[in-house]
């Protein structure tokens, strides 16, 4: 049986070569100088067909070929928040095996129930560049209506469908806390508003409770925001969360409009508070942000839908900080 660490077939080598111009445009990892964080909703990142090329009738269609490409993309960053990791960890484990022993991961348990879709939230990180610094927690809303975190009666009568996951890391002398989430999609956009407001409120309270300069609280993931300026956007930014400059023109999904990506499917975000109590909230220097659009670059001949089941229907977003 083939192994993902075997020498790959020529078709895989061709796709790895096709990825290189995209990856070369990313900031290089510079020891002691910068930090590269990313977020990627990898569609149904669960089971795997253990072959280099899956065949019609195989389920899932994700195979070693796809996992090698996923591993190549992930390895260009220091920490990646990954959404839609499933109960079955076969694809994740083989991807990490390909990435090598220097890579670690930390994740939640599976979210039960239909709205949670059997998903986990995870962070994958390069242990040569960052390390865990102690905190790992999930965000929950208090039931006490007198609490400053509570929402108006009947607006939010449950916990988050997939509770946001916060983990602290250390890069050099810099501590930073990453919060990743995957907001409920619902039957309509209005179904997301209470959860978005609850998350924004929770994060603002956390920022104000730990308002010493240098907390570096950064929120990232799939917020299921339709577009900039609509009610879901307003809920997301209602307490001062500010998306990374430059991401407003970056496509989020395989199906985003090539000419006007900012007008639709604004799902994925990386954001933080610029100031808290009139003080700068980040001690790291923002440098630049962007995305990685692999559509048309790899796995030629597949439709976008077919490509979404090999790699993902979402595209990675990234931010570079100076240390």
**Percent share of the chain, pLDDT over 90:** 57
Strands 165-171 and 217-222: unpaired
Helix (H, G, I), strand (E, B) or coil at 235: helix
Tokens matching residue 147: 């609490």
**Using CA atoms, how far apart are residues 5 and 237, in angstroms rounded to an integer?**
44
Give the DSSP letter of residue 253: B
Domain membership flag for residue 232: yes
pLDDT tens per residue across span 182-229: 876 666 767 778 778 878 888 888 888 765 545 689 999 988 777 777
pLDDT tens per residue across span 27-66: 999 999 999 999 999 999 999 999 999 999 999 999 999 9
Domain membership flag for residue 4: no
pLDDT, position 196: 81
Structural domain including 139 reads 10-322
**Using CA atoms, how far apart are residues 150 and 163, in angstroms rounded to an integer?**
15
Cβ contacts of 248 within 8 Å, gap of 6 or more: 228, 262
How many domains does the chain fold into? 1
Domain membership flag for residue 15: yes
Domain membership flag for residue 1: no
> Which of 18-32, 217-231, 238-252, 255-269 has the highest mean predicted lDDT (pLDDT)?
18-32
| Residue 162's CATH number | 3.60.10.10
Predicted confidence (pLDDT) at residue 122 exceeds the cutoff of 80: yes
Q: What angle do CA 264, 270, 275 make, to 5 degrees?
A: 120
Domain membership flag for residue 2: no
pLDDT, position 145: 43
> If residue 35 lies in a helix (H) or strand (E), which one and from where to where?
strand 34-45
Residue 17, preceding peptide bond in cis (omega within 30° of 0): no
Mean pLDDT of the chain: 86
Domain membership flag for residue 128: yes
Domain membership flag for residue 5: no
Distance between first and last Cα of the chain: 45
Q: Which runs of E-coded beta strand occur in 174-262?
A: 174-182, 217-222, 241-243
């Amino acid at each position: 049986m083939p192994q993902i660490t075997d020498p790959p077939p020529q078709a895989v080598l061709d796709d790895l070569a096709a990825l290189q111009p995209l990856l070369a445009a990313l900031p290089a990892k510079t020891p002691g100088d910068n930090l590269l964080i990313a977020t990627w909703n990898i569609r149904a990142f669960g089971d795997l067909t253990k072959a280099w090329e899956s065949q019609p009738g195989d389920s899932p269609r994700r195979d070693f070929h796809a996992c090698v490409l996923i591993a190549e993309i992930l390895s260009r960053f220091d920490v990646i928040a990954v959404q839609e990791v499933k109960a079955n960890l076969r694809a994740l484990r083989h991807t990490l095996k390909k990435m090598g022993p220097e890579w670690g991961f930390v994740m939640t348990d599976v979210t039960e129930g239909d709205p949670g879709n059997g998903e986990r939230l995870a962070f994958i990180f390069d242990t040569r560049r960052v390390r865990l610094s102690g905190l790992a927690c999930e965000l929950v809303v208090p039931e006490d209506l007198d609490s400053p975190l509570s929402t108006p009666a009947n607006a939010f009568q449950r916990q988050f469908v997939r509770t946001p996951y916060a983990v602290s890391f250390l890069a050099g002398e810099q501590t930073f806390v990453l919060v990743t989430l995957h907001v409920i999609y619902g039957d309509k956009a209005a179904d997301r508003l209470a959860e978005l407001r609850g998350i924004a409120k929770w994060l603002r309270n956390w920022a104000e409770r730990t308002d010493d300069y240098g907390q570096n609280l950064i929120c990232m993931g799939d917020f299921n925001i339709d577009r900039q300026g609509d009610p879901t956007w307003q809920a997301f930014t209602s307490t001062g969360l500010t998306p990374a400059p430059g991401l407003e023109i970056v496509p989020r999904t395989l199906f985003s409009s090539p000419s006007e990506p900012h007008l639709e499917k604004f799902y994925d975000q990386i954001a933080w508070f610029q100031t808290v109590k009139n003080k700068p909230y980040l001690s790291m220097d923002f440098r630049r942000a962007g995305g990685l659009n692999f559509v048309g670059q790899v796995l030629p001949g597949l439709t976008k839908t077919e490509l979404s089941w090999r790699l993902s229907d979402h595209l990675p977003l990234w931010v570079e900080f100076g240390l």
